[in-house]
Amino acid sequence: MRFVFKLLLSISLAAGPLPLNAEWLEASSKHFVVTGDVPRAEIKQFAEELARFDSAVRKATGASDIEVSPRNRVRIFLVRGDGAVQALYGPNAGSVGGFYRASARASVAVVPLQVIGGPKEFDARYVLYHEYVHHLILGTTSGIYPAWVNEGLAELFGNARVNPDGGVDLAWANNVRAREVLYTNYPVRKLLEVSRQKPSERGVFQLYARGWLLAHYLILGDKREGQFDTYMRLVNQGVPSLKAGEQAFGDLNRLDDELDRYRAGKFRYLPLSAAMLTPAPVTLRALDPAEAAAMPVYTRLIAGSRRNRAEIVGDAAKVAARFPDSAFVQATYAGAALAAGQREAAVAAADRALALDKDQLDAVLVKAEALLADATGNEKAKFAAARALIDRASVIDSGYALPMVLRFDSYRAAGETPTPAAVAGLRRATKLVPQGREILLKLAEEMIREGNLPEARRALAPLAFDPHAGADNPAAVLLAMIDDGADATALRERAAQLSDDAKKDDKLSR
């Protein structure tokens, strides 16, 4: 299943097309890559503001600022309005104004450069900043984030403005959700109880609105210093959210009364001057003609729902025929063909890419995945060849999560017990992409097999607290089974079922 941290928007958006621009551009820093067919000045400003915002949130939260593999940076696609966003999101897009998806392959955000309609504060940066906070906090810290904390922090830090002098103001007033904040009463008790089943529609909106208010009060108010940290420590020790809240906050009815008074006053914000920030440099480059021609296909391949895979591979084949000497184009076609189940065409295109560039990583991994898809349990030679390709990919980029996951998968596909090194690689992949649902499920299943229930519980917890999961969140069910002392056989059977379901859904997210 694809794991989406998405804004559930109550606003019906209508965006006009941007002026046509012939140049595809890429603005990159050590933390992100922004790509779009948009004017040079706009993408440059967008990326430089994002770099300052990134630095500000890291400063405020203490999130680590380490070098990561370029493949593990978040890729942000700027598109022409909400219609393009929803087309990429796929079925059940509704009024989604931006979305974020994470997997071992890539962490991707899709946002419109322009949004028309709703409050003036509701713009592309608001959409992106909310999603980026999810990516940054979950990607650079460890621990369990209950639903209200997850969304409350994204709203708290995502409501920001980058000033002309280079400073950044965080925790700005949440004007987008002012109506829900100021005029809707939603008990803190209900916020704390949202953990093991999907909340009502009203409850989802309050995760953002009341969650923002509660986070703002606990972190920036001056009445309850240290209580947020106490609550988070208790939750991460395994104390249920409601019980942790009662221990950390005391009388919850009194806390509700304080919040109602707090929302009627003036809100503090967190100003960070330009001198306090160390934004990573942003470089801008124009894509070459071959890359630019392939980018509409590549965007659908890496960011979209892939519901029209035959159409995608058809478009990719046309671009590949036009640019036979581009390794990137041939590798993109290889990926599209593999996603469409055309393994022979995928391998042939991957070989063409590798003839042009022996280190074309996508092409190496397409060949490895094709072999794994073809091999059966007794075809040892195919599994060995796939692992050799995975090893080659790991040499090309030792920090990329996908080869680590594929190596682990190769043992399970062969009916073999994964080696300690393969399990260690899977564990490392969860650290590199902690937002990736399928990777966490794989680790949880493996830890249950090994009888390491504490680590299984840690892997399941972020999924169990997902506010956008189904009404009967299977990860939450499995977590409850662990907490209730279910026997090992029942846990293994339930974990295997979850893993099978994830594999079915992941065929769409290749």
Instruction: State the residue for tokens 């041939």.
Output: 330
pTM, full prediction = 0.84
Residue 506 has a pLDDT of 44
pLDDT of 363 above 70 = yes
- Looking at residue 313, its amino acid is V
Window from 150-154, 244-248, 270-274 with minimum mean pLDDT: 150-154
Residue 153 lies in a domain: yes
- Tens of pLDDT, residues 390-431: 999 999 999 999 999 999 999 999 999 999 999 999 999 988
Q: Which domain holds residue 332?
A: 306-374
Residue ending a domain, among 374, 391, 410, is: 374
Residue 17 has a pLDDT of 35
The conformational region for residue 341 under phi > 0 = left, psi -120 to 50 = alpha, else beta, is left
- Report the domain count for the chain: 3
Neighbours of 37 (CB within 10 A): 22
By DSSP bridging, strand 74-79 and strand 161-162 are: unpaired
pLDDT of 366 above 50 = yes
Residues 324 and 255 in one domain: no
Largest CA distance in the chain: 69
Residue 379 lies in a domain: no
Residue ending a domain, among 374, 404, 421, is: 374
Window from 113-122, 292-301, 466-475, 483-492 with minimum mean pLDDT: 113-122
Residues 137 and 21 in one domain: yes
- Tens of pLDDT, residues 467-484: 666 556 778 888 888 888
Instruction: State the residue for tokens 């890539």.
Output: 106
Residues 225 and 310 in one domain: no
Residue 370 lies in a domain: yes
Residues 36 and 122 in one domain: yes
- The chain-wide mean pLDDT, for the chain, equals 85
| Helices assigned H by DSSP within 327-436 | 327-339, 343-356, 361-374, 380-396, 401-413, 420-432
Residues 52 and 126 in one domain: yes
Residue 387 lies in a domain: no
Question: Which CATH number is 342's domain given?
Answer: 1.25.40.10
Residues 259 and 317 in one domain: no
Residues 77 and 19 in one domain: yes
Residue 425 has a pLDDT of 96
Residue 219 lies in a domain: yes
Q: Is 261 exposed, middle or buried (0-12, 13-18, 19+ CB in 10 A)?
A: exposed
Residues 245 and 327 in one domain: no
Residues 135 and 189 in one domain: no
Pick 44 or 504 by higher pLDDT.
44
Residue 277 has a pLDDT of 96
Residue 443 lies in a domain: no
Residues 117 and 154 in one domain: no
Residues 107 and 149 in one domain: no
Residues 6 and 121 in one domain: yes
Residue ending a domain, among 347, 374, 401, is: 374
Residue 181 lies in a domain: yes
